[in-house]
Chains A and B, each alone.
Chain A
Amino acid sequence: MSEVNMPRLSDTMQEGTITRWLKKPGDEVKKGEVVAEVETDKANMEIESFSAGVLEQILVQEGETAPIGQPIAILGTGAQKSQPAASAAQSQRAPAAQTASANNSGGAHMTASAMSGNGQVSRETGVIKASPLARRMAEEHGIVLSQLKGSGPGGRIVRDDIEDYIEQQKATPTPATSSAIAQTVSVPASSAPSARAAAPVAPATSTTPAAPAATNGTPEVAAADADVVTLSSMQKTIARRLTESKQNVPHFYVGSEIDMTDVLAMRQKLNANLDEDGVKISVNDLVIKACALALEKFPQVNGSYKEGQFLLHKHVNIGVAVDIPAGLIVPVLRDANSKGLRTIAREAKALIAKAQAGKLTPADLEGGTFSISNLGMMDVTEFSAVINPPHAAILAVASTRKTFVPIDNQPVVRDIMHVTLSADHRIIYGAMAARFLQEVKRILQNVYPILG
């Protein structure tokens, strides 16, 4: 009997959500065969079995999440029940083995569905797996077990989980939602309307700012007038990382307007001469190339601040923020400074397609040194973006708009694009950010450097 465990699929992965089981109990599994698909913080991946056997039990169901290393399925020989024990030595051991398999198959349905220890499933079956000690502690501390995720075997909630939870509660005192509920309960029925009104107000009146639910890892008690949506791994990661970024990285913002008229005219000519399977160059590809070239001259903008040191990266790898149904993902276009526009266009298109199909691998997502977020296609005048650590900066690209600009004191219609650089002030200073933007602007407005 062996277990299939949740593998570590990327450096930052802490847990994975099973999106699909490709095998069902009773199916034969070969060594190296894909048994399930899993969504990690970064990508959708496949889980291969490290050993051969018959899938006896699925421990983590589709839609459920398990930390790295936790068993998600049990593989057996599938032979214990049918083969009579032949030799004397086997017959000695047979009773124990048979008992074990009988227990497994008998309890399979109930345990499998109760495994996750996650509130949703437990509400369905009415069974939450928790050690007797964890149950008693939960009762003493007034903790609702369905709020917790178990870290014990098969998702069992154990003392460690209760203690973690209690410590977390101490670290984030008076969560706004639970205090809101307390108010609702304590107010007499006659003043119910005001009590209802108190619920949404509570966060604002709370003296300590309530930490976002996603960052402290434990789902809060639902307010009566809100639907609770459980976050996907990716959504949790986005919430956690961007909170970290905004809390830890001193952001400042520098904006600029770039005249895109000439470069857009050039783009039109380039795209007009394409044969049928050629890839069209987008505005974004132009911005990627311009930034990549500018980053060569500004190593600190292409760097990272890390523990009192500047890391100046030797490669210019540009992260391109892609909007996908599951959230937001930033695949990386490598060595963009040394690639031509066509190559950049082709690679960017492939990355975006992979992102939208959920097929990005951790390799597609690692090693970025700068990122670009482009909302230009959605009629945005301007915006600023949150830095994606360990990057030092991110460029927010707004729409290109026909604008009257004074040229020789005459109003002339030009294509103007607003960009905002968000920069980490620990490594980039104001003038440096401004000069970097000037360089991006020079490349785009002069047109020819971009072909270099």
Chain B
Amino acid sequence: MAEISFRQALNDTLREELHRDGNVFLMGEEIGVFEGSYKITAGLLKEFGPKRVVDVPIAENGFVGMAVGAAMLGLRPVVEIMTFNFIALAMDEILNHAAKIYYMFGGQTPVPLVIRTPGGGGQQLSATHSQNLEAWFAHIPGLQVVAPSTPEDAKGMLKMAIRNNNPVIFIEHLGLYNTKGEVPAEDYTIPFGKAKVTKEGTDLTVISYSRMATVALDVARRMEQEHQWHVEVVDIRSLRPLDRETIVNSVKKTGRAIVFEEDWRSYGIGAEIAATVQEEAFDYLDAPIKRVANVEVPLPYAKPLELAALTGAKQLVDAINELAPRRRRIITHV
């Protein structure tokens, strides 16, 4: 297995899928000649030509609408929205077309569309360029929404997204592009709706996704070394469909849960997960479920203010210290 960056894993996967299926093509602003704002599509225009890697004008509603049409006619468009923040312009195409056409036209035509887009703050890109809008899309029946945290998952889930007949919002994170991880060389897909327990523990569960799932894993490992807390980390990976079973089973084991998310707290992913846990694991809960999320402000530009508004390791450590039980339970490995 090779260790490669998240960025490289996406690039490799797009190349492999373009090779595998002639119906797959890429669309997006600056993805061809400029090779993408974040270089995810580096080298692909040269390799596959302008019919497979299409540079489009700055008109999200226009090119997402085109992609929906192309998908209806049997192609498999993979659209890049330069950052998550610009997706608002294409909301009607996503909400009212991509998510509904298969249903409203009696199943006559599926919409095998993938929209890839990076979100996340922390790069001093200010209020309109640093958002995490996954809750908007995870709310919509008819869409599938995924947010992998490792290069390995990025590869398997992007392949799954492209080969899947449903419209998929594939959420990347600016802060993950340079992170590295082992990626198997073979062709594989990761099914949606399967969470991954990235670290086992007995004292409490941290549920997270995307970049925060990697922060949660670091924090959990550190707290185990330094303070003997056995924190279980669940990376949900897929926001819709959501793997409720894995979440519920983990909380049944630990009795305590924190949802760690980089979006705003109110009406966020954590709200859905907290509701799920109390519905399905009420008798196992030993404390109220905690949500650790961003401060509810437009993200400031100034670095100290940006840091103060974003959630992160410190906030999670504080929450764990506050929520952890008095008694530590020893992991019993079978």
- Is A141 an interface position by the 8 A CB rule? no
- Is B326 an interface position by the 8 A CB rule? yes
- Is A211 an interface position by the 8 A CB rule? no
- Is A92 an interface position by the 8 A CB rule? yes
Q: Given A151-B326, A159-B325, A160-B325: A132 and B284 within 8 A (CB)?
A: yes
Interface of chain A residues 80 through 115 with chain B (CB within 8 A): 89, 92-93, 95-96
Q: Given A96-B266, A133-B255, A151-B326: A158 and B296 within 8 A (CB)?
A: no
Q: Which residues of B contact A123 (CB under 8 A)?
A: none
Task: Determine chain A's interface SS by DSSP, over half rule.
Answer: helix
Cα A164 to Cα B326 with chains together (Å): 10
Q: Which residues of A contact B265 (CB under 8 A)?
A: 96
A156 to chain B, nearest CB (A): 8
* B325, A158: Cβ atoms closer than 8 Å: yes
Task: Determine chain B's interface SS by DSSP, over half rule.
Answer: loop
Cα A89 to Cα B300 with chains together (Å): 11
* B283, A133: Cβ atoms closer than 8 Å: yes
- Is A134 an interface position by the 8 A CB rule? yes
Cα A133 to Cα B329 with chains together (Å): 15
* A131, B286: Cβ atoms closer than 8 Å: yes
- Is B2 an interface position by the 8 A CB rule? no
CB-CB contacts of A58-69 with B at 8 A, as 1s and 0s?
Answer: 000000000000
- Is B317 an interface position by the 8 A CB rule? no
A interface residue count range (under 10 / 10 to 19 / 20 to 34 / 35 or more): 20 to 34
Of the candidates B255, B287, B297, B327, the one whose C-beta lies within 8 Å of that of A89 is B297
Of the candidates A92, A134, A160, the one whose C-beta lies within 8 Å of that of B326 is A160
* A96, B296: Cβ atoms closer than 8 Å: yes
Cα A151 to Cα B286 with chains together (Å): 12
- Is A358 an interface position by the 8 A CB rule? no
* B286, A133: Cβ atoms closer than 8 Å: yes
B328 to chain A, nearest CB (A): 10
Q: Which residues of A contact B286 (CB under 8 A)?
A: 131-134, 158-159
CB-CB contacts of A174-204 with B at 8 A, as 1s and 0s?
Answer: 0000000000000000000000000000000
Which chain A residue shows the least CB distance to B322? A153
Chain B residues in contact with chain A, CB under 8 A? 255, 265-266, 282-287, 296-298, 325-327
For the complex of A and B, the 10 pairs showing the least CB-CB separation, nearest first, are: A133-B286, A131-B286, A160-B326, A159-B286, A136-B283, A160-B327, A132-B285, A133-B255, A132-B283, A158-B286
CB-defined A-B contacts under 8 Å, sample of 14: A92-B297, A92-B298, A93-B296, A96-B265, A131-B255, A131-B285, A132-B285, A133-B283, A133-B284, A151-B326, A152-B287, A153-B287, A159-B255, A159-B327
Chain A residues in contact with chain B, CB under 8 A? 89, 92-93, 95-96, 131-136, 151-153, 156, 158-160, 163-164
**Known A134-B286, A152-B287, A160-B327; further 6 A-B contacts with Cβ < 8 A:** A93-B297, A132-B285, A133-B283, A159-B255, A160-B326, A164-B327
